Amino acid sequence: MRTGLAVVAAVLLGAAGCAGGDGHAPAPKGTGAHAVRPPAWDRSPASIAAVGDSITRGFDACTVLSDCPEVSWATGSDARVDSLAVRLLGVAGAARHSWNYAVTGARMADLPEQMERAAARGPQLVTVMVGANDACRSSASAMTSVADFRADFEEALGTLRSSLPKTQVYVASVPNLKRLWSEGRTNMLGKQVWKLGICPSMLADADDLTRAAAVRRDSVQQRVVAYNKVLREVCARDHRCRFDDDAVYDYRFGTDQLSQWDWFHPSTDGQARLAEIAYRRITTERP
C-alpha cells in the first residue's frame, strides 16, 4: 500500500513540476494550443505618419536648399512619385490621413521627439527613415556611436509603444553612402557642390584615392552597415515592426536618382524608387 501511495505521489509531484506558471501543464509540442503567435500584419493600414530626416522631407528634390514634401516617398502627393500614402490610401485618403513629421538634418537622437508627435495622430502605420546624418558628420570620428544609435532607436520605439501598442512600423535601411560617393564623383558639378560641406566624412576630397582616404570612407561605410544591423535587430524584437531587409541600402541607384542640386539627396525619380520599395515590403504577406 505504501508503495502504491509513493508512486501516486511521485506522479503528482512530477506533474506539478512540469506545470506552467498558471498551474497548467504545457501543451504537447506541435499542438500549438498555447503558442504565442505574432499578430497578423495589416497590409492596408488606413493612416500613415512619417518620421525621419531630409530624405523623407524631399529636400533638394524640387528647388535648391528647400524641403519639398509633396515629392516625399512616404507621404507626398506628386503623381510622379506615387508615394506610399497614395498607393495605400488613394489620393484623397493620403491628403486626409497621412502626416510628415520628418525634419531635415535630423539624426537618430531626434527620433523619440518626432515619434511622440506622430503618435499623437494615432496612425495605423509609422514609417522610419533615419541614420544617414549620423554617419554624415564633419569627420569619421564624429559619427554617432553604434551604442547611442541603438539606445535612441529603442527609445523612439518605446515612445510609440507607450501610447500605440498596435501601430505598425516600417523601417527603411540607411542608404549606401559609399555608392553615393562612387556614383556622384563622376559628375564635375556634383563634386564642386560636395565641397560646400555635404557629408564630409564620406564625400570630402572626392578624387582622393590615397589609402588614408580609402580607410576613412570604409570606416563610414562600416558604421552604416552597423546602423542597419541595429535597425534589423531592434525591429525584429517588435512583432509589429518590419525592416526593409537592407532593400534601400542594396538598391543600385545611379545619378538619375540623385538631386541635380546636390548629388546627395534623392531626386523625384529617387523618391519614387523609395516609395516602390516601401510599398512592396509593407504589402507582402510575409516579410
Give residue-wise pLDDT tens across range 49-89.
999 999 999 999 999 999 999 999 999 999 999 999 999 99
Q: Chunked in runs of 10, what are the mean pLDDT values of the chain (287 residues)?
A: 36 33 40 56 97 98 96 98 98 98 98 98 98 98 98 98 97 97 91 94 96 98 98 97 98 94 96 98 89
Whether 99 and 50 have beta carbons less than 8 Å apart is answered as yes
Superfamily assignment of 42-283 in CATH? SGNH hydrolase (3.40.50.1110)
Mean pLDDT of the chain: 89
The percent helix, strand, coil of the chain (3-state, each to 5) is 50, 10, 45
Full-model pTM: 0.86
Tell me the sheet residues that pair with 127. 50, 170
36-70 b/e (C-beta count within 10 Å ≥ 16 → b): eeeeebeeebebbbbbbbbbbbbbbbbeeeebbbb
Strand locations in 83-211, DSSP E?
A: 98-100, 125-129, 168-171
Return the pLDDT at 37. Answer: 59
Strand partners, 52: 129
Note the Cα 236 to chain centre separation in Å. 12
* pLDDT (0 to 100) of residue 175: 97
For position 35, what pLDDT does the model report? 52
Provide the grid cell at 38: 505574432
For the chain, give every domain's residue range.
42-283
Please, which residues bridge with residue 129 across strands? 52
Q: How far is CA 207 from CA 47, 136, 201, in A?
A: 45, 18, 14
- Residue 40: per-residue pLDDT: 84
- 3-state secondary structure at position 107: coil
Which residues does residue 242 pair with via DSSP β-bridges, in sequence order?
A: 170
Whether the Cβ atoms of residue 276 and residue 84 lie closer than 8 Å to each other: no
Question: How many whole angstroms separate alpha carbon 240 and alpha carbon 43?
Answer: 12
Q: What is the pLDDT of residue 259?
A: 95
**How big is the CA angle at 154 (ends 88 and 128), to the nearest 5 degrees?**
25
| Cell numbers that stand for 253 in this block | 541607384
Distances (CA, A) of 184 to 59, 97, 180, 210, 233: 17, 36, 6, 18, 31
CA 249 to chain centroid, in Å, comes to 11
Residue 255 CA from chain centroid, whole number: 23
Instruction: Specify burial of residue 125 (Cβ count, 10 A radius: 0-12, 13-18, 19+).
Output: buried
* C-alpha gyration radius of the chain: 24
> In 10 A of CB 150, how many CB atoms?
19
